[in-house]
């Protein structure tokens, strides 16, 4: 289901993990890899997720939990019909306000969080800012470097070292394409939701 306000979010007390990251970082692809089916829509065009998409995930005999797929930061695009007479700057401010509103509602609930960062772009200012905020706002938080399959061995090592230096925590390498890091991601999720 999709949530635009607090009243749209689940109220059954099941553990929640928020997925935070720049637009097009691979949040929806990560969800699809976790559940091994296409439940989250993916797009090459950034800015498609505009609401908090809520997925109830159950795995084996482990207690179910919710993944809260949040809109990406760093790219805001409103549908053309919604722009009307707004200037591009006003449209960006409007989209940013929508993003901040839904993210605030979700984090008032103190979920655990996964910050997803693109392995090809270590040390981005927007990711550093997001980590500071997520680390302070979430019940517990961790960092996952997506798209690790797009880097060669030496590039991976350098990128992960830089990420760990910037975030001052371990960073889990993950690929939705190859499944690399999937078992470790499940272990991380089990730790975060307990």
User: What one-character DSSP code corresponds to residue 147?
Assistant: -
More confident residue, 124 or 102: 124
Q: What is the pLDDT of residue 75?
A: 56
Q: Dig out the tokens for 92 from the structure.
A: 């960006």
- Contact by Cβ (8 Å): 46, 99: no
Rounded to two decimals, what is the model's pTM? Answer: 0.83
Tell me the mean pLDDT in the region 124-139. 92
Per residue in 147-193, pLDDT tens? 999 999 999 999 999 999 999 999 999 999 999 999 999 999 999 98
- Alpha-carbon span 158 to 172, nearest angstrom: 14
pLDDT, tens only, 2-59? 776 677 788 888 999 999 999 889 998 999 999 988 877 655 554 444 678 889 998 8
10 Å CB burial of residue 167 (0-12, 13-18, 19+) is buried
User: Residue 155 has what pLDDT?
Assistant: 96
User: Whose CA is closest to 72, among 91, 87, 53?
Assistant: 53
pLDDT at residue 81 tops 50 = no
């Amino acid at each position: 289901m999709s949530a635009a306000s607090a009243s749209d979010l689940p109220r059954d007390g099941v553990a929640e993990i928020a997925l935070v990251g720049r637009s097009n970082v691979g949040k929806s692809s990560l969800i699809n890899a976790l559940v091994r089916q296409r439940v989250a829509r993916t797009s090459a065009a950034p800015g498609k997720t505009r609401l908090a998409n809520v997925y109830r995930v159950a795995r084996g005999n482990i207690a179910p939990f919710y993944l809260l797929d949040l809109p990406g930061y760093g790219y805001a695009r409103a549908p053309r019909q919604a722009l009307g007479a707004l200037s591009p700057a006003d449209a960006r401010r409007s989209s940013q306000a929508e993003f901040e509103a839904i993210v605030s509602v979700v984090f008032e609930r103190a979920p655990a969080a996964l910050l997803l960062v693109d392995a090809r772009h270590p040390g981005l200012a927007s990711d550093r800012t997001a980590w500071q905020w997520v680390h302070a706002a979430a019940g517990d938080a961790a960092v996952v470097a997506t798209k690790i399959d797009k880097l060669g061995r030496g590039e991976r090592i350098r990128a992960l070292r830089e990420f760990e230096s910037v975030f001052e925590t371990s960073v889990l390498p993950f690929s939705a394409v190859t499944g690399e890091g999937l078992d470790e991601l499940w272990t991380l999720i089990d730790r975060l939701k307990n």
